[in-house]
Amino acid sequence: MKARLPAGMGKNPQNMNSMIKQAQKMQEEMEALQAELDEKEYEVSVGGGMVTVKIDGKKEIKSIDIKPEIVDPEDIETLSDVLVAGINEAIRKVEESNSEAMGKVTGGLNLPGMPGGF
């Protein structure tokens, strides 16, 4: 089975080489951006500031700060719910930031297999 290129593609080798170079440049930019995003740190507070989660761009939790006032041995469920909410919000924040930054490089293209989880 032959691969079919869009009309006009492949007839001009210089055009194809130019496209390949552009794709390579975009990939290099995306890899550099991903490395930068991986190093970035985010902080999210939930539960009225009772819990603060710090996370990096690789979605690794760096720390969780818990105010003593939220620790009630009679109500562990509330603390657990606030922790889950904080961690989920931190992950969402990283994903949103990474997606927005990568979108600027790719012009909104969906490129499977490229850095950034696309």
Tokens describing residue 11: 């007839």
Q: What is d(CA 102, CA 30) in angstroms, rounded to the nearest whole number?
A: 7
In order along its 118 residues, the chain shows pLDDT tens digits of 565 656 555 566 778 888 888 888 888 888 998 899 999 999 999 999 999 999 999 999 999 999 999 999 999 999 999 999 999 999 999 999 988 888 887 776 665 555 544 4
Q: What is d(CA 26, CA 31) in angstroms, rounded to the nearest whole number?
A: 9
What pLDDT score was predicted for residue 113?
57
Q: How many residues does the chain have?
A: 118
What pLDDT score was predicted for residue 21?
87
What pLDDT score was predicted for residue 82?
96
Q: Which residues contact 35 (CB under 8 A, 6 or more apart)?
A: none
What pLDDT score was predicted for residue 118?
42
Question: Quick one: CATH architecture of 13-106?
Answer: 2-Layer Sandwich (3.30)
Whole-prediction pTM: 0.68
Q: What is d(CA 93, CA 85) in angstroms, rounded to the nearest whole number?
A: 12
